[in-house]
Amino acid sequence: MSQDLRPVLAGWDFDPDRVQVRIIVGDDGAEKIQMRVDLGVMQMESDGRPDGERPEGYESMLEYYETAAASDENFRLGPPECAILMREGLQYYHRYLSAFHLERFDWVARDTARNLRLFAFVVKHAVRQRDRIEFDRYRPYVTMMHHRALASRFLADDNHRAAIEAVDDGIAAIRRFLADYGQEDHEGECGELQFLLQWRQELERERPVGPIERLEQQLEVSVKLENYEEAARIRDQIRRLREGESRRLGTAGPSTGPGGDPSLRKP
């Protein structure tokens, strides 16, 4: 069989201005990701370690070292081990970047979660502070990509509320990173955090609004304008809609006792 790659690359010219990826089915019947690079093509397994290797019989060197650490309370990662883990983490980076452009957000969420676990493991066990920082400095970016993937999956299912919650979790996680390094006052300099904050605003604007929530917004405006007659009419509409929902669900109507207006509580 010819080892010349030109037939594989025919019709797939390299474009330096965009990420070029595709999914193919390998000779083993499994899906594989191919990324076009300037001198050829990079091929990755869609599951397990991207290069398909099983070092020391484990899925990856991270799993191998995690197993060693679990049985040795004095376990430490020296510079050579950290270098191995960095090269391996880069494989997963290439795969989740490719998967994001393929809109395989499940793969992105899986691989970013794995690299976040890698960073935490190195921070805990590395001998040198410089190695701990070298890994952990990528935490904001990978956190952003992880929650971006989760939110994108929810949006594909038209679940805007869950998508916004996923973005909120990402914002909180990046703020914890800044707090870990005493950088709480530098949020404006963190591009990953600013991206999630801006995206959250866009998601909130695009979030579908139900009839009750729309009426609640109108009620708030009427009260601010002191149009109490209109406010009373809107309250009656809200009450009728809630009673109708309760009958459909076979439940009692919402309480308006000491807990306050139920329309103001988060579900």
Per-residue pLDDT of the chain (267 residues), as tens digits, is: 678 888 888 889 999 999 999 999 999 999 999 999 999 999 999 999 999 999 999 999 999 999 999 999 999 999 999 999 999 999 999 999 999 999 999 999 999 999 999 999 999 999 999 999 999 999 999 999 999 999 999 999 989 889 999 999 999 999 999 999 999 999 999 999 999 999 999 998 887 666 766 777 677 878 888 888 888 888 888 888 888 877 776 654 444 333 333 333 333
Q: Is the domain of 59 the same as that of 162?
A: yes
Give the residue numbers spanning the domain of 153. Answer: 49-206
Q: Decide: pTM greater than 0.95.
A: no
C-alpha closest to that of 245 among 207, 211, 209: 211
Q: Is the domain of 180 the same as that of 219?
A: no
Domain assignment of residue 5, yes or no: no
Q: Is the domain of 123 the same as that of 233?
A: no
| CB contact set of 155 (below 8 Å; sequence gap of 6+) | 163, 203
Q: Is the domain of 190 the same as that of 229?
A: no
Q: Is the domain of 180 the same as that of 228?
A: no
Classify burial at 252, counting beta carbons within 10 Å of its beta carbon; exposed 0-12, middle 13-18, buried 19 or more: exposed
- Edge-first strand order for the sheet with 31-37 is 21-25, 31-37, 40-45
Domain assignment of residue 266, yes or no: no
Check: CB of residue 22 under 8 Å from CB of residue 34: yes
Domain assignment of residue 110, yes or no: yes
Q: Is the domain of 122 the same as that of 89?
A: yes
Report the length, in residues, of the chain. 267
Q: Is the domain of 200 the same as that of 177?
A: yes
Q: Is the domain of 85 the same as that of 133?
A: yes
The structural domain count of the chain equals 2
Q: Is the domain of 144 the same as that of 221?
A: no
**Domain termination residue (choose one: 151, 186, 206):** 206
Domain assignment of residue 1, yes or no: no
Domain assignment of residue 260, yes or no: no
Q: Is the domain of 147 the same as that of 237?
A: no
